[in-house]
Amino acid sequence: MKSLHSGRRIAALAGGTAALAMVLFTASCSTEEQAPEETTTTTTTTTTTSAAVEPTDKAPRINPNDPNPFSPTVIAPPAPTAVPGDN
């Protein structure tokens, strides 16, 4: 009986030590330093060309007057009904 209690105490002590070690390791690796703030200015120029520009996304365009292209095409059959009193 004593060996059972001492085994639990050793396991609890080992678990507590491991948890404390993880907390201390995490605290020692973290830093409170913030990166220096840098301000950058970007300038963009546009040129016109005769080539048509197409969107790069593959999703279909949603038109409010058209049906929703994301709606399912298969409709599931209704659930079967059971005879009253039969579970």
pLDDT tens, position by position, for the chain (87 residues)? 566 688 889 999 999 999 999 999 888 877 766 666 776 666 666 665 556 666 656 666 677 787 777 777 788 888 888 787 766
Work out how many domains the chain is built from and give that number: 1
Question: Is residue 22 a part of any domain in this protein?
Answer: yes
Question: Is residue 80 a part of any domain in this protein?
Answer: no
Q: Is the dihedral of CA 79, 80, 85, 87 positive or negative?
A: negative
Question: Is residue 54 a part of any domain in this protein?
Answer: no
Question: Is residue 23 a part of any domain in this protein?
Answer: yes
> Could you list the residue range(s) of the whole structural domain that residue 3 is in?
1-29
Q: What is the DSSP letter of 6?
A: H
Question: Is residue 8 a part of any domain in this protein?
Answer: yes
Question: Is residue 15 a part of any domain in this protein?
Answer: yes
- Element holding 75 (H helix, E strand): none
Structure confidence at residue 13 (pLDDT): 94
